[in-house]
């Protein structure tokens, strides 16, 4: 019977236990004996010990772990034997004495600065596995993170069985601790509430023709989340959310006492989503943990679905209104052009009449009575009667209104008011059901949403208007200062959608639309575990930001001084000053030698020795793992190598471990 979890398949486990494959072109570099090992190698007399030492050293520099001598690759044994002047049969894994075998390991670790994997290292790894278990990662992911942890802390990698045993003990211990906490805090009322989710329909109330297989559990209905955007489907989703919210509020004290993380909730809820209700009965006390996580998870998932519905519906309505405005403006274009032509023609005639009247008034030799007669005749000739002037005034007013509408603001708000009824039908109950986070939401918008929820969508005289801009208030209030409820509600929905996207409106009933502060570590936890968290993140050297800032500032000033010195001298031939006192930079052409350098770094065989480039890679110091070119569809993200179990980064989009 297996004593640990099955983390990997047999092939992946075998890859971990096998020494890394070394290409023939890289054997000279991988199995080169460093200066500090020459004297030790010369003191060895047995050929098996000499070859075994070089093989162990080469493999260890690649993968930071030791392998059983019987697993050494034959090609590597032949190469090392020829390098040492030995025959291929001089190295016998069985003659590689155990005493020398382990003594060589201790010697290699001491000179490379690697800590042997002993009882203290096992305890450190177990504590790290416990921390990772609290995040409810998959066992394979925990395995990869532990290997990365060993590399970062320069600890020898143990055997596969040892790692699997540590992960198994950590996962079982965490779940046992969680179940014990559940037994302590689970009240009888909460237990009955959860059991009710697994209670099937009453057989006495089953409809005619239905069998036992047709009976449904309440849990089955809670699994469904409809994604339709019709008004009826949205109302059904809101009703579903209301029932889940009632369950959530009754179980929230238990959830808070258990201190379940989002990862834990998702981890256990996924099992309920896949399992049948009858299968949960066989889980004993664990089913309460699964059902609690399921209720919380579905509540958050449905909250996300409601907010997505709000965003999609508002965006669709706004786009339709803008299209309607464009169509209206296009249809009014011909009429506006005709009106402009008429007003321009009449204005030209009025200017002509005024010019002639001005000249007649300025004439000194014409009597006043004659001037009045001539002015009246001019007005009659230019059709400037009272009726004509009144008609011209009306045309000017129409042109002014048409010009204002061309900006689109008035037409857009009118179209939005027309679409308000459709928005209220879809989003009225939805907005009332959402739980807004008052602490992190913009104050003026929170007051408006809270007022809408408290008054069930009915608007009174004290409706909040401060979340609207001055322009929007001008459209919401009519000429008599009365509120236009339809436009107000539409603008409220629009402002909510805009604030959600900018992070100014947050909810407590969602995964995705919470406040940014929710995703950060709590201040109390940071104050209590600051040193441990900095060490886990590899930021211990940055704990005192004032010192770090001063160091960086000094380095920056020194670099500025060096750069300015180069610009002022002749060291930089690509920068020179113009007669106007400005600097001009020229880009040199690509020299042929750059291609030769690229061929040197990346040979034609496709293998890249990591020792040349690994110092620039974070997380891979002193690595000598060869790289091979990845296929075009390889995702550009860090991933662990299954052979050396090192997590690469940086150039992962182009190169990956050859194994």
- What pLDDT, in 10s, does the model give residues 257-286? 888 888 888 888 888 887 776 666 666 778
**Does residue 581 or residue 591 have the better pLDDT?**
581
CA distance 659 to 656: 9
- In the structure encoding, which two tokens stand for residue 144, read together? 């990869």
pLDDT, residue 619, reads: 44
Sheet holding 627-629, edge to edge: 607-608, 627-629, 655-657
Separation between Cα atoms, residue 230 and residue 350, nearest integer Å: 58
H/E segment holding residue 539: none
Residues of the chain above pLDDT 70, percent: 78
Q: Is the pLDDT of residue 211 over 60?
A: no
Element (H, E) at 608: strand 607-608
- 526-544 per-position pLDDT tens digit: 888 888 888 877 788 888 8
What is the Cα gyration radius of the chain?
40
Please give, one letter per residue, the 3-state secondary structure of 564-585: HHHHHCCCCCCEEECCCCCEEE
What is the distance between the alpha carbons of residues 379 and 560, in angstroms, rounded to a whole number? 79
pLDDT of residue 508: 92
pLDDT per residue as tens digits for the range 547-571: 999 999 999 999 999 888 877 777 7
CA distance 648 to 151: 11
Residue 373 in tokens: 């007669």
Token pair belonging to 125 = 């790894």
Residue of 299, 273, 267 whose CA lies nearest to 511: 299
pLDDT of residue 625: 42
Show the tokens assigned to 556. Answer: 């920056």
Helix-, strand-, coil-residue percentages of the chain, each rounded to 5: 65, 5, 30
Whether the CB-CB separation of 310 and 363 falls below 8 Å is answered with no
Q: Which 3 state secondary structure label does DSSP give 436?
A: strand
What pLDDT shows up at residue 93?
A: 83
Residue with the larger pLDDT of the pair 2 and 48: 48
pLDDT at 628: 42
pLDDT digits (tens, 9 = 90+) for 392-440: 666 666 666 656 554 567 888 889 999 999 999 999 999 999 999 999 9
Q: What is the pLDDT of residue 591?
A: 64
- C-alpha distance from residue 94 to each of 104, 327, 496 (Å): 16, 88, 75
Phi, psi of 568 (to 5 degrees): -75, -25
The larger pLDDT score, comparing residue 314 to residue 403, is at 314
Tokens of 584: 């001009």
Give residue 215's pLDDT. 54
Pair of tokens at residue 106: 């201790």
Q: pTM for this structure?
A: 0.68
Residue 516 pLDDT exceeds 70: yes
Q: Which pLDDT value is given to residue 117? A: 92
Q: What is the 3-state secondary structure (H, E, C) of 629-647?
A: ECCCCCCCCCCECCCCCCE
Query: Any bridge partners for residue 629, and if so which?
Result: 655
Nearest to 51 by CA among 24, 74, 23, 20: 74
CA distance linking residue 410 with residue 472, whole number of Å: 10
Residue 234 CB partners (closer than 8 Å, separation 6+): 228, 309, 313, 426, 427, 429, 430
Q: 244-258, 346-360, 468-482: lowest mean pLDDT where?
A: 346-360
CA 491 to CA 471: how far, in whole Å? 12
Mean pLDDT of the residues in the chain: 80
Ranking 184-193, 201-210, 406-415 by mean pLDDT, the lowest is 201-210
């Amino acid at each position: 019977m297996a004593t640990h979890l099955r983390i990997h398949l047999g092939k992946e486990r075998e890859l971990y236990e096998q020494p890394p494959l070394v290409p023939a072109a890289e054997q000279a570099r991988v199995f080169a004996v460093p200066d500090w090992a020459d004297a030790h190698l010369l003191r060895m007399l047995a050929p098996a010990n000499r070859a075994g030492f070089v093989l162990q050293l080469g493999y260890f520099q690649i993968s930071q772990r030791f392998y059983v001598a019987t697993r050494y690759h034959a090609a590597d044994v032949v190469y090392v034997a020829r390098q040492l002047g030995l025959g291929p049969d001089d190295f016998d894994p069985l003659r590689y004495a155990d005493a020398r075998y382990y003594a060589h390991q201790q010697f290699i670790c001491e000179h490379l600065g690697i800590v042997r994997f002993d009882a203290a290292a096992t305890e450190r790894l177990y504590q790290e596995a416990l921390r990772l278990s609290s995040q409810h990662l998959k066992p394979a992911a925990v395995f990869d993170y532990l290997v990365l942890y060993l590399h970062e802390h320069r600890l020898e990698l143990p055997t596969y069985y040892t790692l699997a045993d540590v992960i198994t003990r950590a996962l079982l211990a965490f779940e046992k601790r969680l179940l014990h906490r559940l037994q302590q805090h689970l009240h009888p009322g909460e237990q009955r509430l959860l059991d009710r989710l697994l209670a099937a329909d009453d057989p006495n109330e089953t409809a005619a023709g239905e069998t036992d297989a047709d009976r449904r559990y309440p849990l089955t209905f809670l699994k469904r989340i409809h994604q339709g955007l019709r008004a009826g489907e949205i109302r059904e989703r809101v009703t579903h959310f209301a029932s889940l919210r009632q369950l959530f509020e009754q179980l929230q004290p238990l959830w808070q006492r258990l201190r379940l993380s989002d990862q834990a909730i998702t981890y256990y809820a996924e099992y309920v989503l896949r399992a049948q209700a009858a299968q949960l009965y066989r889980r004993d006390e664990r089913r309460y943990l699964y059902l609690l996580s399921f209720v919380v998870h579905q509540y958050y998932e449905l909250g996300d679905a409601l907010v997505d519905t709000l965003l999609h519906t508002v965006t669709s309505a706004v786009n339709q209104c803008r299209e309607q405005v464009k169509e209206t403006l296009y249809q009014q274009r011909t009429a506006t052009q005709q009106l402009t032509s008429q007003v321009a023609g009449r204005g030209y005639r009025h200017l002509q009449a005024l010019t002639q009247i001005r000249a007649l008034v300025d004439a000194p030799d014409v009597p006043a009575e004659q001037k009045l007669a001539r002015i009246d005749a001019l007005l009659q000739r230019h059709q400037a009667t009272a009726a004509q002037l009144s008609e011209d005034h009306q045309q000017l007013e129409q042109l002014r209104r048409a010009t204002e509408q061309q900006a689109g603001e008035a037409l857009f708000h009118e179209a939005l008011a027309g679409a308000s009824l459709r928005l209220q039908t879809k989003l009225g109950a939805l907005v009332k059901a959402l739980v807004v986070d008052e602490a992190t939401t913009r104050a003026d918008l929170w007051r408006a949403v809270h007022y809408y929820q408290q008054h069930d969508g009915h608007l009174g005289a004290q409706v909040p208007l401060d979340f609207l801009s001055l322009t929007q208030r001008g459209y919401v209030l009519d000429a008599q200062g009365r509120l236009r409820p339809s436009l107000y509600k539409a603008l409220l929905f629009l402002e909510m959608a805009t604030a959600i996207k900018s992070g100014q409106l947050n909810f407590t009933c969602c995964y995705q639309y919470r406040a940014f502060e929710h995703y950060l570590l709590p201040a109390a936890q940071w104050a209590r575990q600051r040193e441990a968290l900095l060490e886990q993140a590899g930021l211990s050297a940055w704990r005192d930001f004032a010192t770090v800032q001063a160091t960086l500032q000094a380095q920056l000033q020194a670099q500025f001084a060096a750069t300015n010195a180069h610009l002022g001298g002749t060291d930089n031939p690509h920068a020179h000053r113009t007669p106007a006192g400005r600097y001009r930079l020229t880009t040199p052409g690509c020299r042929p030698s750059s291609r030769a350098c690229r061929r040197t770094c990346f040979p034609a065989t496709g293998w890249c020795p990591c020792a040349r480039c690994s110092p620039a890679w974070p997380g891979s110091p002193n690595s000598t793992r060869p790289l091979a070119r990845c296929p075009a569809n390889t995702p550009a993200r860090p991933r662990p190598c299954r052979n050396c179990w090192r997590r690469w980064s940086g150039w992962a989009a182009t190169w990956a471990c050859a194994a």
